[in-house]
Chains A and B, each alone.
Chain A
Amino acid sequence: MEKLYTICIFTENTLGLLNRISGIFTRRRINIESLSVSETERKGVSRFTIVIKSDERERVEKIVRQIRKIIEVLAVFGYEDHDLTYNELAFFKVDAEKSAGVKELLEGYKRAKVLFEDQRILIIEKAGTEEEIYAFFSRLKPFGILEFVRSGRIALPNNEKGLAQYLPEVDWEYYM
């Protein structure tokens, strides 16, 4: 059965790394479902969060080992959803004229709010998992969605570890 896997990659912050990382997926014809990159709590260390679908855990493990080979990669971990706390963020644009009832709809949701509003449009933010966002999408659809954007997943594993435990071999002073 196809499952989602989240791959967290810790890297040195260098140019061209995204190209090398994505190349490993394209070579094996694996589609990247979502991607987000940010600097971590340590200066100079970036965190890539990549979501892929696979029906074989083994395939994901092979990918993880190949990513680890990239020189600037400090560490790589693959997770299934139950190991993680994760979320995405989505923005929706709706026509103000057709938006009667939208705000009432929002009240039923904890993590949805209006970010921008004028005579012409409303921009609504919704945070949550992919399913939650799509469920919200279908509720909003009757009002007419002018534009929709969804971010890549960000995720943290549900364990007691921090960066120093993930990367025990790394000489931390180097990044201070």
Chain B
Amino acid sequence: MSDLYHEGMKLKCDKCGKSATIHLTEIVGGQKIEKHLCEDCASAEGITVKSNVPISQLLEDFILQTSPSHSPEQAAQHAVPSDLKCDVCGMDFNEFRSKGLLGCPHDYEAFDRGLLPLLERAHEGATQHIGKVPHSAGDSQKKQNALLRLRAELKSAVSLEDYERAASLRDQIKELEKS
């Protein structure tokens, strides 16, 4: 089911039957309507035009609430043992330092030692969340991590073309998500 939209890249245009490249989902009066259009028909509907517009550099920053202190130098200032590695997603602390982005939720535990000083600097010394707790907090850390691991295994099963194992892992993931 999940691939439908993207197999949808090969869908036909609702209007003329050529291959559709524009896919919109609209809600009108509570009804969900999907539209697939080719570029010409979309353009005729005022939805899109073929164009090659120089990128406006203006007004762009406000959109993205990107983290103000993304810069990995922050992390780099601090000497951190380079042996920290996440066994779920495979990211190590050095890779995180160079990219500034973590690989998976488990990294917060795996990189704990390296992250704590960074968190303190970024958050006025705080390292403990005291805000909102979601209902799904009932989903224990254990379950969240189990899901992550299953997905990592699935990834490697797929790359090894072990489809039988992949199918059984997908079932396990579905099962666990429902529980």
Are A and B bound to each other?
Answer: no
